Amino acid sequence: MDEDLRGRQFVRRDVETASVLFPWELMSEEGRAAIRKQRGPDFDEDFWEPNSLVKLPGGVSLWPSETEAIHVGMYALADGNIDALLDLLHPDSAPVSAEAREEIRQCVEGSRGDGAKRDGLKVLARQLATWIRGSEVRPGRPPGLSKADHAFACRITHYRKQGLTDEEIARKESHRKKYEDTSYSTKDVTKLGDLGLS
């Protein structure tokens, strides 16, 4: 398939190999001369070219083909260089405004939870993966745990099995710091411990 942007519409042409009839009387003198070089100086009749590349109407749409959309989306999700992609595919990438580039960034990275107008590809891909893996997607769902929080949650489960209370665990582990360099409170210990990780 071949695709061009005309105005706001993507014009597609299917590119195929086909047999094409070339009527001799409709050919230009240059065309006839080229054919005679290939077929001999006395050649002067219609002929079929069995392996011609032809472009046939492939439809018009307000968006690129599904294949291109998937490739662009996968490239963006894989942290591809969006500026390089703009330079390659945008018909006039130089004047793409900073505002438009920010809209593109939000389309990839955005999250309504962070004040963006809509969720971006990465958020939507995480949601899709969550459903596929059998969990549920809910608004306002808290983020996951850091490696340090995960390790501490496992340690809390160990302490609870030994019979320690959450208050005792918080005191015993007061040297342990969260990412913002503060100690874990009893409430933090309860929340992490209730996950039951081991």
Whole-structure pTM over 0.85, yes or no?
no
Q: What are phi and psi of 162, to 5 degrees?
A: -80, -5
- Structural domain boundaries in the chain: 2-61, 66-132, 147-193
List per-residue pLDDT tens for the chain, 198 residues long: 888 888 889 999 999 999 989 899 999 999 899 989 988 988 889 988 899 999 989 999 999 999 999 999 999 999 889 888 888 888 876 778 888 888 888 889 887 767 767 888 998 898 888 888 998 887 765 667 888 899 999 999 999 999 999 999 999 999 998 877 888 999 999 999 999 998
H or E element in which residue 192 lies: helix 186-193
Alpha helices by DSSP H, listed for 120-176, are 121-132, 147-161, 166-172
Gyration radius (Cα) of the chain, Å = 31
